[in-house]
Amino acid sequence: MPIGTVAFLCLAAVLGAGAGAVFALVGRLAPAGKVGAVTGVVGAAGGLGGFFPPLVMGSIYGAVGDYTFGLVLLAATALLCALLAYTALRRRAAEQD
């Protein structure tokens, strides 16, 4: 149990840092008059990101009886989002400077 507790606390810290980085990026890239609206859209997307994966995982487990395919889909989605942030958004942030 202590290892699980430490793992979940570390996971929470990393997820919090990631969310902070996303909102910092919104502040840099969004036009000054639209930061609030963009922040709302980003927050809604985050809410959907917490809502749909459990549904998908449950559906896949119900159909296949295993979580492997759902975890692979989740990892692939995370990798694509990371690549998007690294390429397109990083380039755009560099142009802003």
pLDDT of 93 strictly over 80: no
User: DSSP string covering 1-67, please?
Assistant: -HHHHHHHHHHHHHHHHHHHHHHHHHHHHS-GGGHHHHHHHHHHHHHHHHHHHHHHHHHHHHHHS-S
Give the span between the Cα atoms of 91 and 34, in whole angstroms.
Answer: 20
pLDDT at residue 68, as a whole number: 93
Rounded to an integer, the average pLDDT of 55-74 is 92
Q: Encoding tokens for residue 34? A: 């639209």
pLDDT at residue 27, as a whole number: 85
pLDDT of 95 strictly over 80: no
pLDDT at residue 11, as a whole number: 92
pLDDT in tens, 5-58: 999 999 999 989 988 888 888 888 888 899 999 999 988 988 888 898 999 999
